[in-house]
Amino acid sequence: MVKFYFASGKADVAAGSAAALADVAKAVAGGKKAFVSGYHDAKGDPVKNAELAKQRAMNVQAALKEAGVAADKVELKKPEQAKADGPASEARRVEVSVQ
């Protein structure tokens, strides 16, 4: 599981994410698939937060494609609960699982 964290209200993938993206690309190159799920914190409008979580996941998906991962090897997976528990800085994330 690789996690990407985001600033409050932002969906931009951090500039320092290249190593994590490369790790996912390497794992997928071994014949696996990446599943991308976005989460948000409890602050603000729930509808806007859900859209922000989706946009974050889509941005990580795009970054993976830019890192060389084939489009058919990356799938968005909506989590059962997009509002994450715990500290807000931990909740504002995208998780990528490789299976």
What's the pLDDT tens digit per position in 9-41?
A: 999 999 889 999 999 999 999 899 999 999 999
pLDDT at residue 97, as a whole number: 96
Query: Which residue has 């504002």 as its token pair?
Result: 92
pLDDT at residue 88, as a whole number: 86
63 in Cβ contact with 55 (< 8 Å): no
- Cα–Cα distance between 35 and 57 in angstroms, integer? 10
Residue 39 identity: Y
Q: Is the pLDDT of residue 82 over 80?
A: no
DSSP 8-class letter at 33: -
Query: Which residue has 């974050």 as its token pair?
Result: 56
Domains of the chain, CATH where assigned: 2-98 (3.30.1330.60)
Query: Which residue has 């979580």 as its token pair?
Result: 53
Count of residues in the chain = 99
